Amino acid sequence: MRGIKRFLLLAPLCALAACVEATPPAQVPQPGADSCNAASFRGLVGQPRGVLDRMTLPAGTRIIGPRDAVTMDFNAGRMNFEIGEDGRIAKIGCY
C-alpha cells in the first residue's frame, strides 16, 4: 500500500519531466559544405590521377585510391580527392 502511495505522488512529477524541452543537438558541418575550398578544384574531376602529382595541394589533403583504407574522422577543413577504378579523379570534397 505504501508503494502505491509513493507511486501516485511521483507520477505527476514524472509526467512533468517528460514535458521539459530537450536541448537541440550541436550543429555538425555538413560534408557538402565547401569549408576546404574544394570548389576551386572541381574542374579536375575526370582528369587522370597523375595531374595531382604536378600540383601544390593544401596541407593535409588526402588522395584516396579506390581500395585505400581511410580513417572515418571528420575534418571539414581537409580536402579529399577520391580516385575511381579507372584511375581518374572521381570526387573532390571536404571531410
Tell me, what's the pLDDT at 1? 59
- pLDDT-derived band of residue 72, with 50, 70 and 90 as boundaries? confident
In whole angstroms, what is the distance from residue 29 CA to residue 43 CA? 24
Question: Which uninterrupted H or E stretch holds 13?
Answer: helix 2-17
C-alpha cell at 7: 507511486
- pLDDT-derived band of residue 3, with 50, 70 and 90 as boundaries? low
pTM strictly above 0.75: no
Tell me, what's the pLDDT at 29? 52
**CA quadruple 94, 33, 74, 78: dihedral, nearest 10:** 30
| pLDDT tens per residue, range 13-47 | 666 566 656 665 555 555 556 899 999 999 999 99
In whole angstroms, what is the distance from residue 76 CA to residue 87 CA? 25
Intra-chain end-to-end CA distance of the chain, in Å: 59
| pLDDT tens per residue, range 5-15 | 666 666 666 66
